[in-house]
Amino acid sequence: MNKKKKGTFYPKNQGTDIPTQQKTKQQVAVSSSPNSQKTFPKGMFWLTSVLIPLAFAAFAFYVLVALNSEVLYCYQERSLFVTDSSFFDMHTTLPGGLLGWLGCYFIQYFNTPWVGALIMVLMWLAIYFISTKAFRIGSPFHPLALIIPTILLCSVVGLGYWIYYSKVTGYAFAETIGTLMMVSAIWAGSAVKNRWFCIGWMVVWSILGYIAFGWYALLATLCIALLNLKSWMHWAVAAACIIVIPLVAYNCCTKMVLSHSWIAAFPLFQNDIITNTRIIWMFAGLAVTALALSVAPVSSKWTDFTKKSRNGLLVCALVLVSCIGMAYGTFQANIDDFNFHSEMRMYRAIDEARWQDVLDEAAVAPVHPTREQVMLRNIALMNLGKFGSSMFHYDNKSIPPVVYDSLHVHMVQTNGPLTYMNYARTNFATRWCIENGVEYGFCNDGYKVLIRSALVSGEYDLAQKYINILKHTKNYRAWAERYEAVNGDSVKIAELPEMKNICELHNNFKSILDGDEGLLEMYLLNYFSNTQNKNSKFLNELTLAFALISKDIQLFWPKFFLYATLHEDEMMPIHYQEAAYLYGNLEQGVDISNMPFDQSLIIDRYRRFQEVSQSYLRQGMQVEEVGDAMQSTFGDTFWWFYFFARNQRSY
């Protein structure tokens, strides 16, 4: 009788169990059955985890560069990064200060907008990838990890005129870097399996992270606790860190406000009157999204769903709705007002002495301009010598800047220093640079105006002081060295193309002490229209042009006759002829019968202007309606400006 040998292998599947070989064949048969084909294909993983994130990257790059390149450049102009230890020390005295310092560094790359945009988009892709790991998000729900980068995109392109009133150091890049560090800390905490190591990481991160990145560190600590929802010890440690660390920081930093200790480095945009709640809600949404992803059941994979299952269809719908919602939200947040962007383009062209580009920008405007655009356009006309021949060939019926809250925009903050400097009012240019710098932070743009104003005024030591600051920047070293080469030599300064007219104006001004009451345009209008100068043709024409803008007949005639004397052998520009002919017909005090007015352009056209306007008035049209009806035909004349460009409110 054969006995079973000890150690001999016998199949464990007995009775009704399927033998191993048979089971394997049966599993193969089941996997190839028609029902198994209803699961989602592998292509869905590539769609949600690769293609949609890449599409987001391309979309974000388009929004930043194609729609907001001038905004990115403005961010860089209104920021400053200096490579010395004092600059670092100044920015790291409060919790979250390192975040602002890093933000200032990276904002420098917006000097070439597409380069800065590319760096920012790569950071957002890193935030997306790390978020999928940190929050343990399964492939069907990967698009949800793009919500945080989308909020960051909206925060960059949705600031509007608050860009001029920002007190947040390094804003734009600072928030992206803070978010990147936050999700990285959550990933590190979620990757640690040992409970004590995880708790130790929470404590270390909360302390060091709060010092460097402010509120982002506290948010990360809370998210780590949520990811360990069932562990009371994680919750206890997180609560202790979130409560105690800001209190300790408040007692150690005399500059901190207690209520702001828990939101250190949070991007608050506010002044004495209003707060930008739009931006606050964006970053509150970012925090809520991070907290929601920490507790949401989003760890499933595509293989867990079938095509016809209810859950599978819900996931597909969620992916579609989230993508549409993020795109829609971005376009809603983006400030697409033409004038807002045009002001920035014109401002940069003025700063770089590209006068014709300013006029080209003004010529293609699809809407009425703001007063800032009108003033920048007039600077270009002044430097090209086209005041008398082209001033009214552009739209002179202005509208206020478009804001989405009750923010009051003032030109002394948006373009005041540069405008004052171009009109050689260097005292006012310097004053507003200093005031704006103290209130909102000194910046590249401000130092450029300070340098040129000091050179024009002959304050060469002061100019050198500011030059030395810009020489320590990444983008303006060569710019500063160019002015350093002429510092101290008034002749060479006046020979610079962009400084020639400024120096001539400055050399012919009377030294007076006055004030502008914060009204840039009204001050310049009153100053130049009431100035009389016969030593400079350039200044005389400027005063005549401002007399036209002021519509003051008594101020016009002395400047007009002086202009005729200084330009005796030259043809009188068309707009000065229009004003003289109009004023001569309105008042009998000046005899214009012997003045050589152009027959077709002045005499005959003015007759047609009067006939058409009277015809409209007889039809019962209001003055404003008459002006709108006549603008296409006579909007390029001083006559139309005099009668119909009314109630132009400055700011």
> Where is 230: in which H helix or E strand?
none
User: Token pair for residue 93?
Assistant: 């005295």
pLDDT of residue 511: 66
Rounded Cα–Cα distance for residues 327 and 150 (Å): 8
Rounded Cα–Cα distance for residues 60 and 52 (Å): 12
Residue with tokens 């017909």: 585
Contact 363, 394 (CB under 8 A): yes
Contact 114, 69 (CB under 8 A): yes
Rounded Cα–Cα distance for residues 135 and 219 (Å): 13
Phi-psi region of 66 (alpha: psi -120 to 50; beta: other; left: phi over 0): alpha
Contact 636, 392 (CB under 8 A): yes
**Which phi and psi angles does 275 have, rounded to 5°?**
-125, 140
User: Token pair for residue 437?
Assistant: 């710098």
161: CB partners within 8 A, 6+ apart? 340, 401, 403, 407, 409, 414
Rounded Cα–Cα distance for residues 195 and 201 (Å): 10
| Domain residue ranges in the chain | 43-333, 356-507, 571-644
Long-range pairs of 624-630 with CB within 8 A, sequence gap ≥ 24: 627/397
Quick one: three-class SS letters along 246-259? Answer: HHHHHHHCCCCCHH
Rounded Cα–Cα distance for residues 57 and 122 (Å): 8
Residue with tokens 């002395």: 558
Q: In Å, how far are 74, 321, 338, 444, 582 from 112, measured between CA atoms?
A: 11, 35, 21, 15, 49
Q: In Å, how far are 68, 283, 358, 359, 453 from 342, measured between CA atoms?
A: 11, 28, 9, 11, 25
**Which phi and psi angles does 6 have, rounded to 5°?**
-65, 135
Contact 174, 353 (CB under 8 A): no
Partners of 39 in beta bridges: 306
> How many Cα atoms within 13 Å fall on the side-chain side of residue 346?
30
User: Token pair for residue 77?
Assistant: 């102009």
Closest CA to 377 of 412, 346, 405: 346
Partners of 275 in beta bridges: 270
User: How buried is 75 (Cβ within 10 angstroms: 0-12 exposed, 13-18 middle, 19+ buried)?
Assistant: buried
Rounded Cα–Cα distance for residues 296 and 289 (Å): 10
Q: How many CB atoms lie within 10 A of CB 282?
A: 20
583: CB partners within 8 A, 6+ apart? 553, 556, 557, 590
Rounded Cα–Cα distance for residues 34 and 481 (Å): 75
103: CB partners within 8 A, 6+ apart? 169, 170, 171, 172, 173, 174, 175, 177
Rounded Cα–Cα distance for residues 199 and 189 (Å): 8
Cα–Cα–Cα angle for 49, 53, 58, rounded to 5 degrees:
155
pLDDT of residue 6: 43
Rounded Cα–Cα distance for residues 252 and 243 (Å): 15
Rounded Cα–Cα distance for residues 346 and 507 (Å): 27
Query: DSSP assignment, residue 369?
Result: P
DSSP string of 24-42?
A: HHHHHHHHTSGGGGGBPPT
Contact 450, 433 (CB under 8 A): yes
Q: In Å, how far are 89, 94, 263, 372 from 246, measured between CA atoms?
A: 20, 11, 9, 44
Rounded Cα–Cα distance for residues 318 and 311 (Å): 10
**Which phi and psi angles does 565 have, rounded to 5°?**
-70, -45
Closest CA to 135 of 79, 191, 52: 191
Rounded Cα–Cα distance for residues 337 and 531 (Å): 37
Biggest CA pair distance of the chain: 147
Rounded Cα–Cα distance for residues 113 and 322 (Å): 28
pLDDT of residue 8: 40
Helix ranges restricted to H, 514-573: 520-529, 537-550, 553-566
> How many Cα atoms within 13 Å fall on the side-chain side of residue 16?
0
Contact 580, 560 (CB under 8 A): yes
Q: How far apart are the first and last CA of the chain?
A: 113
What 3-state class would DSSP assign to 306? Answer: strand
Q: How many residues in the chain?
A: 651
Partners of 270 in beta bridges: 275
User: Token pair for residue 176?
Assistant: 């992206």
Query: Residues in the chain with pLDDT < 70?
Result: 1-39, 254, 272, 307-308, 511, 513
Contact 185, 209 (CB under 8 A): yes
